[in-house]
Amino acid sequence: MAWKRPARREFLKGSAALASGLTVGALAPDAAAQGPAPAASPGSAATPMLKDTSELIKYGDRSKYVTSVRIPHGGRPTPDTFGLTFHVATPLQDSVGVVTPSSLHYYATTRGSFLPDIDPRQHTLMIHGLVDRPLTFTMDDLKRLPSVTRLHFIECAGNRSSPRAKNVQESHGMTSCAEWTGVLLSTLLKECGLKGSAKWFVAEGAEEVKGASSMPIAKAMDDCLVAYGMNGEAVRPQNGFPLRLMVPGFEGIFHTKWVRRIKVVDQYHINYNDFGHLDQDAKEAALGYQIGPKSVITFPSGSQRLPGRGFYEISGLAWSGGGAIRKVEVSTDAGKTWKVAEFKGTPQRMAHTRFGLGWNWDGKETVIMSRCTDELGSVQPSRVQIAEHFHKPADPSFSIPGLDNSIMPWHIASDGSVTNGLTA
């Protein structure tokens, strides 16, 4: 328990809600004394009713009052632009817990407004190249094999803090976390039998202009999986139905969707890659594989507004390609001092970890931010530290080369409005 527990009733003391008298506060003695007869319960005179249709009984939907949606990632073509790459970001500002609902999981595709629409009975995964025995697996074959279920994040390399981002969906919404179920790639490669010359592998999905990037065979034999399950049901079409390669901790482009072929090779090579951030030099490219450690505060965050001074729980997410998160620290004074946040559950390897820190806001202008440390001891850097590393001035226009895991500051004005702290 990292946050110091205030004395009883201190959480909400001084809050605008309490002061208003409309919400938290003492009830009239009459109301408080009454028993739980429904007619006397507050605000329940006539509860509006929702028709629970046959279709909703079979497969439910969210409330009409919940309107959180994915949006195209800033600067990318709109989803209506056929044939171009687009990225759709998760509304992290509304997130709770660690699982991202599959309906809101971020995705990136080169397909524009069209996605592969695959009949799983027709889908196969071929493994060939430097193996003793090339094999092709049907979905039914894969589901007979020993399975694993693991919580893992995926993050796009394009997920970067920017002075232009108005909210955390724009700045960090290209990462999500789900419970993935599938077969370890090592299980399949052992079935095929790796030759001694096997050093790299290439994965191909049903998205011809993308992917097929080289990955080390050591990673394949460690923790890669081919996933058919996502959050307790089949992988969603936008995330690679019926089969997706998971490469935990590597940047998103390696997590090949609609995966149908894996080739084992003896040297690094890339092809069909339409992004500039990978390199033909294996040594340099490998530096981009593992992302993080990284964290961001999701509440309060950009475009939100605190209704007044008083108690709030600052909440956010931390993750690392280097394993499990070991520590998250939060500063509520622009980085002058830091407090250790509480984990909401046991951190999993290469998974989002929810953190929280109780905070009594005094109503004064300030900047809040988080930083994390992973199990390797790596600490999330500030933009200033990254700029120093590259011998650049640390002004807001400084563009971080490669992957960006910098600390994200949120500015809180005295009226409670929250804005991007990089521009403040």
Query: Which residues, 146 to 165, sit near a copy of itself by CB under 8 A?
Result: 146-150
Q: What is the closest distance, in whole angstroms, from the C-beta atom of residue 105 to a copy of itself in the complex?
A: 7
Query: Counting contacts by CB under 8 A, is residue 38 touching a copy of itself?
Result: yes
Place of tokens 């690094």: 268
DSSP annotation of 248: T
Sign of CA dihedral 191, 193, 199, 200: negative
Query: Counting contacts by CB under 8 A, is residue 193 touching a copy of itself?
Result: yes
Q: What is the DSSP string of 267-317?
A: S----S---TT--SSHHHHHTTTB---EEEEEES-TT-B--SSEEEEEEEE
Q: Which residues contact 298 (CB under 8 A, 6 or more apart)?
A: 92, 93, 95, 168, 315, 316, 317
Of the pair 22, 218, the CB lying nearest a copy of itself is at: 22
Q: Which stretch binds a copy of itself (CB under 8 A): 229-237, 332-340, 371-379, 392-400?
A: 229-237
Query: Counting contacts by CB under 8 A, is residue 375 touching a copy of itself?
Result: no
Q: Which stretch binds a copy of itself (CB under 8 A): 93-101, 162-170, 218-226, 391-399?
A: 93-101
Coil vs helix vs strand at 326: strand
d(CA 202, CA 67) in angstroms, rounded, equals 39
Interface pick for a copy of itself out of 76, 128, 166, 309 (rule CB under 8 A): 128
d(CA 238, CA 225) in angstroms, rounded, equals 18
> In the structure encoding, which two tokens stand for residue 242, read together?
């019926």
> Which ranges of 151-208 does DSSP label H, i.e. alpha helix?
168-172, 185-192
Interface pick for a copy of itself out of 83, 97, 377, 396 (rule CB under 8 A): 97
d(CA 15, CA 20) in angstroms, rounded, equals 9
Q: What is the closest distance, in whole angstroms, from the C-beta atom of residue 32 to a copy of itself in the complex?
A: 4
Q: What is the closest distance, in whole angstroms, from the C-beta atom of residue 392 to a copy of itself in the complex?
A: 36
Q: Please list every residue from 328 through 367 that binds a copy of itself, using CB under 8 A.
A: 344-346, 354, 356, 358
Query: Counting contacts by CB under 8 A, is residue 30 touching a copy of itself?
Result: no
Q: What is the closest distance, in whole angstroms, from the C-beta atom of residue 342 to a copy of itself in the complex?
A: 8
Interface pick for a copy of itself out of 103, 197, 414, 423 (rule CB under 8 A): 103
Q: What is the closest distance, in whole angstroms, from the C-beta atom of residue 291 to a copy of itself in the complex?
A: 21
DSSP bridge pairs for 71: 89
Query: Counting contacts by CB under 8 A, is residue 195 touching a copy of itself?
Result: no
Query: Counting contacts by CB under 8 A, is residue 266 touching a copy of itself?
Result: no
Of the pair 197, 271, the CB lying nearest a copy of itself is at: 271
